[in-house]
Amino acid sequence: MKTSTSGGKHGIQWTAKMQPDDLDFADELALLSHTQQQMQEKTTNAATASAAVGLNIHRGKSKILRYNTT
């Protein structure tokens, strides 16, 4: 999913030198972002990239987790 998250540095600060945009698992993708707008862009890009290879994102199985928001 590198294609869907390569638009810039909009991930979370993990360490001093590491700012991941996503976490890839065997059959899942966790997108990481600071703002709702960045998350929407990543989700749209992931859906477009997935559809290009015949995959679909299932809305019913998708989750949004907001952590430490103010």
Burial 5-29 (b: 16+ CB within 10 A, else e): beeeebbeeeeeeeeebbeeeeeeb
Answer yes or no: is 57 within a domain: no
Answer yes or no: is 68 within a domain: no
In the chain, the number of structural domains is 1
Answer yes or no: is 30 within a domain: yes
| Segment 24-65, tens digit of pLDDT | 777 888 888 888 898 899 889 989 999 999 999 888 998 888
Answer yes or no: is 12 within a domain: yes
What residue numbers bound the domain in which 23 lies? Answer: 2-50
Please tell me which residue, 25 or 5, carries the higher pLDDT value: 25
Answer yes or no: is 70 within a domain: no
pTM: 0.63
Answer yes or no: is 59 within a domain: no
Answer yes or no: is 24 within a domain: yes
Answer yes or no: is 8 within a domain: yes
